[in-house]
Structure 1
Amino acid sequence: MAQYDPSYSHYWAMEPSFNPASVGKDNKLNVVGAYALDFAGYEHNPNTFYVGADMPLYFMKQYHGVGVSILNDKIGAFTHQRVAGQYAFRHSLWGGMVSAGVQLGMLFEKFDGSKLDAEDMSDPALANAELSGNSLDMGLGFYYLRKNWYVGASVQHLNSPRIELGEKNELQIDKTYYLTGGYNIKLRNPFLSIPTSVLARYDGRTYRADITARLVYTNDKKVLYGGVSYSPTNSVTAYIGGTFHGINVGYSYEMYTGTTAFGNGSHELFVSYQTDINLQKKGRNKHKSVRFL
């Protein structure tokens, strides 16, 4: 009954991980990496590694975006892996940029039956060896960005992959729907701003929403931020990060609001690098990124 896709605390900086229409939204080459260790202190707890890259393109007098992503998610006896490519068609609209994106990738599933600790390992329903399988995976998304605000909607696992694990087992992956949005609040102090964002997702069984606000200090190329995020009935998350020598680094700690002890929360480390790309003649197509403001 649990969700299939992992949750990232730094979702606001990793939008291509759930919405292919967001690739190339900035005039920058954007490379991100994240590692999350969930439910620290528990045996066989989830740990997730993600790396992705996206960039804008301009040809035939039209804006486009492309991206690639790799995911490795381990939880218990399962290892979920995904390799995907993304494309977005972008177009100027109402003073902003609207885009529609598609994602095509492969899912690779592994199940290590030797990690099971069952009372009766002779049960034929339980695998006692390593099983593996793979399947095509598809995604679709829409995104609109205008000045200091944005909104997006997407669906992952559009084709509802069913992966066969050996001869007796299979894994059904349901569609997961995402809705995201954000607004960058400008303060009187020109060095300070408060980017706010929200992400909601639903897979037909479970629902999760994250509401985030960060206080960001920006002075030339120096960026520092701290913030909090709240997920109703799930957790409270604290953030800290900044830009050091052109590298964006962030750390978050998620504290669960249930019966889990304070020390058994989730740690996440986020790293990214951005560099400008000149799509057209100098002075054309300039806009700011709301990811790191």
Structure 2
Amino acid sequence: MEKRRILFLIALLLLAIQLQAQWEAAFSQFWTVRNYYNPSFAGGTDKIQVSGLYKYQWIGIENAPKHIFLSADMPVEFFGMRHGIGILTYNNSIGNERNSLFAAQYTFKHKIGKGMLSFGIQVGMYELNFDAASIHLTADSTKNNKKTIRSNPVDKKTFNLNAGILWMTKNLYISAAAMNINRPSFYSMPISNVSTNVANDSTFSKISLSYNFMAGCNITLFHPLEIQPMFFAQTGLSDTHLQTVLRVVYNKKYSAGASWNGNNGYSFFAGVNIGDMEIGYAYDLHTSGIGKESGGNHEISVRYCFPIDLFKKEPMPYKSIRLL
């Protein structure tokens, strides 16, 4: 009965999808940075988790986007209940212009049967220097018509609010989230009007509300081989990003696989676990859009987990002193 309620809540969220402009990055190894898309993943393990990801998009095109994501999260317990907390920072740069996000996350967890139901919220601050929705490809006449990425300038700091829901068991997770719920607003200035009056020539714009859905499971075929099918959907006004992933893990140390990214192309990835550290690499091959004009994308991810009691002081050994 509880599972039906969870699925019903997720279905309602997905049915409420409105087609909006999409600002969020499409990371190929999304399972390593799930808290970027859904704050309910914060504190999802019993350890402190630090994650980082770097993506170099559209290789060979000048001013191509570069993405950097860093986060840290951990579980906590107070008032006899389980919670999760985390912080993250995300930077998206095009040439010398950069958009930044710094945010804090909180998750409330409730055990249901063999799984854990989590509700998460994220509060953050954007520092915007370009309109990500205005990105387009042009030919630079001053550089022998070299392909160049352009976007409209912005100068604004604005508040950000995300929320999500997650149901997770040992071998399965299903989640849904809404990003930019408050629809942060800003003025976007066309490149041709940079030197003119902002009030008269700028266009009032918003970072539009978007939704995403993630699901995945772990299937043990035979020891030590496991397969992890995953699905990720992210929707926006001009683009709906889909990823269907098949990941194979050997001996819980080596991993590799591929994903189909809808009409956008394919991704191939591999990774290795070294102690408590996981390192991954992915390459994207585009079959449509701006990416088709490029040499693809490179992406590197690093994730490190360490026990929460690492910083706890060990009790001093008791010594009995006898006076002779």
SS in 2 for 1:49: strand
Residues paired across the two proteins, number: 263
**Computing the radius of gyration over CA atoms, which structure comes out larger, 1 or 2?**
2
Match of 1:213? 246
Pick from 202, 209, 213 the counterpart of residue 175 of structure 1. Answer: 209
Structure 1 residue runs of 4 or more that deviate by more than 3 Å after TM superposition: 116-119, 164-171, 259-263
Matching of residue 203 in structure 1 with residue 236 in structure 2: yes
Pick from 298, 307, 315 the counterpart of residue 276 of structure 1. Answer: 307
Residues 54 and 68, structure 2, Cα contact 8 Å, conserved in 1: yes
For 1:74 and 1:200, the matched residues in 2 are separated by 24
C-alpha deviation, 1:78, in angstroms: 4.6
SS in 1 for 2:45: coil
For 1:182 and 1:94, the matched residues in 2 are separated by 19
Please list the CA deviations of residues 74-110 of structure 1 after superposition, one character each: whole Å capped at 9, or x if unmatched. 1357522110000000010021100001000001101
For 2:227 and 2:154, the matched residues in 1 are separated by 47
Question: What are the residue-to-residue correspondences of 1:60-75 with 2, within 5 Å?
Answer: 60-75=79-94
For 2:212 and 2:116, the matched residues in 1 are separated by 19
Matching of residue 151 in structure 1 with residue 174 in structure 2: yes
Q: Would the alpha carbon gap of residues 41 and 231 (structure 1) be closer, same or farther in structure 2, given more than 3 Å must change?
A: same
Structure with more strand by fraction:
1
Question: What are the residue-to-residue correspondences of 1:93-112 with 2, within 5 Å?
Answer: 93-111=112-130
Please list the CA deviations of residues 126-152 of structure 1 after superposition, one character each: whole Å capped at 9, or x if unmatched. xxx975111110001000001211100
Residues 32 and 301, structure 2, Cα contact 8 Å, conserved in 1: no
Matching of residue 255 in structure 1 with residue 285 in structure 2: yes
Alignment RMSD? 2.5
Which amino acid in 1 is paired with 2:215? G
Pick from 232, 251, 256 the counterpart of residue 226 of structure 1. Answer: 256
For 2:113 and 2:237, the matched residues in 1 are separated by 34
Q: Which runs of 5+ in 1 are unaligned?
A: 120-128, 279-293
For 1:76 and 1:206, the matched residues in 2 are separated by 23
Residues 85 and 105, structure 2, Cα contact 8 Å, conserved in 1: yes
Which amino acid in 2 is paired with 1:197? M
SS in 2 for 1:104: strand
TM-score w.r.t. structure 2 length? 0.75
Which amino acid in 1 is paired with 2:45? D
Structure with more helix by fraction:
2
Residues 40 and 265, structure 1, Cα contact 8 Å, conserved in 2: yes
SS in 1 for 2:263: coil
SS in 2 for 1:233: helix
